[in-house]
Amino acid sequence: MEPSHLRKIIITSVVSFLIYCLPASYANTNLDEAAIMKRLKEMKSEVVLPRYDAVVKSYLRTYLINNRSKAEEIVGRSVIYFPLFEKHLKEKNLPFDLKYLAVVESALSSKAVSRASAVGLWQFMAPTAKEYGLKINTYIDERCDPEKSTAAAMQYLDDLYDRFDDWSLALAAYNSGSGRVSRAIKRARSKDFWTIRRYLPRETRNYVPAFIAATYLMHHYEDHDLTPAYPSLDLQIIETIMVYDEFKFEELSQYTEIPIDVLESLNPVYRKGIIPADENGHFLTLPKRVMAAFKDYLESQRPDTRYTSIESSPILVTRSKEDVNANYVKQIYTVAEGETLEKIAKFYNCSVYQLKAWNQLKTSKIIAGQKLTIYIPKELQKFRMKKMEPMASLPEAPIPTLPPHQKSVANLPAKEVFLIDLYVQYTVKRRERLRDIAERLPGVTLGDLEHLNRLPGKQMLKPGTIIRIKKM
């Protein structure tokens, strides 16, 4: 046998082995460009007229062939974020397709950080974030807050559109800044993105094509056999409230039995695993199933405060393949005549995206008699609170309210203090903690205040709260 013929047989055998033994994602490396171009032509968008070129093709190859698992994660995250985005887009009267911009910016990751130090779902740089009212300090980075960062991004996009009167140019300016786009317009003597793009930085030249590819992915992932990787129900069915005291995630994890990584992902705005005390309050998001019990705990600590729910802003975190949905009851709902997914979602306090995900629905169309799966959280019945160490017994001396002529303590307003044998009564006039009071009053230590009042020094006190202070 000729050596060349032998080499041909060996090569053919190796190729055959690769085709039959490697996963399909490796063997099928070609895009059906004719089908993609047809779908793009049929796509409607108020933002960018879809088109197909080499750059769009490159992004689609990444989503649909080279990194399919990443694309499935992105599509899964849409059930979490798109309802939030659409709420803000509706409030600003902006095109709903702008929600796909977050796919380009962060792959729908609230804690994404770029090489240029842009942060969050909408990849804000620090100066722009502060310009649009987002707080950044040692403990808080609101660029990671889905609700606040989305509101800021919508306002920023609205401002850019007001300036350029064209969404392609507004998107380009979102990426590289208004100045670069204005200079490119001036050099090209045109306001058409595809004409001026050669005068823009390379990343910005590719930005609108990337947006087109992301839009295509979210519309046609099923046509490419992509299966969304949806998050666990603990990350979909959540509730947010305002808290005023300091909480560490380690303590919250003890209280709620929610893993710290989930708490961090549900509350990505806090940089050090601590929600700092603040008289104006901070948001805390938990799985809804534990929220009622946590509110009971808060009420027991501060019975004069009512904790009300705030519209939730869910976050996605990747969990192990354990049964993370065991704390939810599956309920079957039969669709009645004339009902819509929107109506059912509103009744069950969930989103249309969630109903479609739970029932693998491709469209929002439903018919009478159709069975829908609804998930209801099992509320935590008994709250496992972290118990304080028992304190030494104190003499239970009465603390009477004395006549005005007996009120007097140095350095304290006369109307706030009552003399007794062992203590004085002090009425809190503003929101402050025991440790704040200890720092402000000469001769008063935090240890004494904690001991006399059986309260932690970090707990925020409301105006009108009466505490004991050791007589000096």
CB 270 within 8 A of CB 140: yes
Name the phi and psi angles at 174, rounded to 5: -60, -35
Dihedral of alpha carbons 351, 353, 358, 360, sign: positive
What mean pLDDT is predicted for residues 367-386? 71
What mean pLDDT is predicted for residues 275-296? 89
Supply the DSSP string of 165-188, one letter for each residue.
S-HHHHHHHHHH-HHHHHHHHHHH
Residue showing tokens 């409301």: 462
Query: Quick check: 219 pLDDT over 90?
Result: yes
| Structure confidence by residue, pLDDT tens digits, 28-78 | 568 899 999 999 999 989 999 999 999 999 999 999 999 999 999 999 999
Query: Torsion angle, CA of 330/334/336/338, rounded to 10 degrees?
Result: 70
Q: How far apart are the first and last CA of the chain?
A: 108
At residue 393, the pLDDT reads: 33
User: How is the chain split into domains, by residue range?
Assistant: 1-30, 31-134+144-224, 233-310, 404-470
What share of the chain in percent tops pLDDT 70? 78
- Bridge-based pairing state of the strands 432-433 and 460-461: antiparallel
| Structure confidence by residue, pLDDT tens digits, 395-408 | 333 333 333 333 33
Distance (Å, whole) CA 243 – CA 283? 6
Distance (Å, whole) CA 356 – CA 424? 62
| Structure confidence by residue, pLDDT tens digits, 160-203 | 999 999 999 999 999 999 999 999 999 999 999 999 999 999 99
Query: Quick check: 372 pLDDT over 70?
Result: yes
Q: Pick the catalytic residue from 42, 72, 105, 142.
A: 105
Assess whether 105 carries a catalytic annotation: yes
Distance (Å, whole) CA 213 – CA 317? 25
Name the DSSP class of 231: P
User: What is the domain class of 31-134+144-224 according to CATH?
Assistant: mainly alpha
Tokens for 112, please give them: 């994404």
Q: Cα-atom radius of gyration of the chain, to the nearest Å?
A: 29
At residue 320, the pLDDT reads: 39
Dihedral of alpha carbons 302, 303, 308, 313, sign: positive
Distance (Å, whole) CA 387 – CA 112? 37
CB 352 within 8 A of CB 83: yes
At residue 423, the pLDDT reads: 64
Query: Torsion angle, CA of 54/57/59/65, rounded to 10 degrees?
Result: -140
What pTM was computed for the model?
0.70
Distance (Å, whole) CA 3 – CA 299? 86
What share of the chain in percent tops pLDDT 90? 50
- Bridge-based pairing state of the strands 238-243 and 309-310: antiparallel
- Cβ-proximal residues to 221 (8 Å cutoff; 6+ apart), any chain: 71, 72, 75, 228
Tokens for 319, please give them: 């969990």
Tally of residues, the chain? 472
Query: Quick check: 388 pLDDT over 50?
Result: no
CB 429 within 8 A of CB 463: yes
